[in-house]
Amino acid sequence: MAPLLDVQNLRVEFKTRAGTARVLDNVSFAVESGRILGIVGESGCGKSMSALSILGLVPSPPGQVKGGRIMFDGRDLLSIAPEEMRRLRGGEIAMIFQEPMTSLNPVFTCGDQIAEAVRLHQPVSAAEARKRAVEMLRAVAIPEPEARADTYPHQMSGGMRQRVMIAMALSCRPRLLIADEPTTALDVTVQAQIFALLRDLRDQTGTAIVMITHDMGAIAEMADDVAVMYAGRVIEKGPADAILDQPAHPYTQGLLNSIPRLDLDPSGDLPEIPGVVPPLTELGHGCAFADRCPHAFAPCRTIEPRHVTVSAEHSAACHLLSGMEDAA
């Protein structure tokens, strides 16, 4: 099956006072209808910028898409007219943003904002849109949805606002849903309800979902496929089971080892990845993870690794997999 979304060699740069930051460096991933792609990595690795690029929301200036293609149902989103992009955005392609307080309009009620999204993209009356808004608030487990539809964002808690954003994104039954940390500020019970809601949407409508997160537990529960990002690059990708069971890149291994487990010594320290993500203005020609990698050797600092096949549909960009260490 051809992917509904196919991102190919996407490059995005930002001009800063410190120099040019390669925010996305030849990023490629794809997701088919009815499947969930998890994009995982630390803060600042390019996950959210990938989502903004798909929606045509890269702030320019200072950002600029320098190359690549974003194919959605056979159309390159980087070359379509702005009017067509606006029709797709919110209708066929929807996004759950990470910061609900800055994404919701403070002078309109939550119900009116959801209803407006419905009327912009579907031929329904105001009464039907209002009914859909209440239904969606009920679907995301907001109590007394009829009354809550008439409240303003500032009258809701952070978790409630997050659920309003999810309700708005799902209201038009999009073909592609991008969820950027969709369960931020939600307790575990509501998180489970939201995950169940997203799975039901996928199963009932065939919606493709791109879920952006730093939570490997959420990836294990939700994702069919995974793309691991680091410093603006996809450094490992493949089926979720393969990556979770046999991570090939040292960075992916570090992320999984950092998850608390019951079999760990409670008196010991939780394993961590030393150091921090390097500034994107200072990336060299080698592997961006080299300074933090316990297995790094000389070529890692001078030669950028290419993706090597690990198993069927599973690949990682690491010199350890190419045999270069033995040659060195």
* Residue range 224-239, pLDDT digits in tens: 999 999 999 999 999 9
User: Is it the case that residue 194 has pLDDT exceeding 90?
Assistant: no
How far apart (Å, rounded) are the C-alpha atoms in residues 61 and 88? 23
- Phi-psi category of residue 318: left, alpha or beta, with phi > 0 → left and psi -120 to 50 → alpha: beta
- Tell me the pLDDT band of 325, cut-offs 50, 70 and 90: low
* Residue range 251-305, pLDDT digits in tens: 999 999 888 777 766 666 778 899 988 888 888 889 999 999 999 999 999 999 9
User: Is it the case that residue 173 has pLDDT exceeding 90?
Assistant: no
Check residue 278 and report its DSSP letter: P
% of the chain surpassing 70 pLDDT? 96
Instruction: Look up residue 81 and give its two tokens.
Output: 């007219």
DSSP track, 121-169: HS---HHHHHHHHHHHHHHTT-SSHHHHTTS-GGGS-HHHHHHHHHHHH
The angle at the Cα of 185, spanning 189 to 110, to the nearest 5 degrees, equals 95
How far apart (Å, rounded) are the C-alpha atoms in residues 325 and 86? 49
Q: For residue 22, give every residue at least 6 positions away whose Cβ sits within 8 Å of its Cβ, in sequence order, or none.
A: 11, 12, 13, 232, 280, 283
How much is the average pLDDT of 37-57? 93
The angle at the Cα of 322, spanning 317 to 325, to the nearest 5 degrees, equals 110
Check residue 291 and report its DSSP letter: G
The angle at the Cα of 217, spanning 214 to 219, to the nearest 5 degrees, equals 70
* Residue range 79-116, pLDDT digits in tens: 999 999 988 998 899 998 877 777 889 999 999 999 99
Is the Cβ–Cβ distance between 43 and 280 less than 8 Å? no
Q: For residue 13, give every residue at least 6 positions away whose Cβ sits within 8 Å of its Cβ, in sequence order, or none.
A: 20, 21, 22, 23, 63, 64, 66
How far apart (Å, rounded) are the C-alpha atoms in residues 211 and 36? 7
* Residue range 132-165, pLDDT digits in tens: 999 999 988 899 999 999 999 999 887 888 889 8
- C-alpha atoms less than 13 angstroms from C-alpha of 321 in its C-beta half-sphere: 18
pTM of the model: 0.90
Nearest to 26 by CA among 279, 235, 277, 287: 235
* Residue range 53-83, pLDDT digits in tens: 999 999 888 999 999 999 999 999 999 999 9
In the chain, the domains with their CATH numbers are 1-92+174-262 (3.40.50.300), 103-173 (no CATH)
- The 10 Å CB-count burial string (b at 16+, else e) for 141-170 is bbeebeebbebebeebeebbbbbbbbbbbb
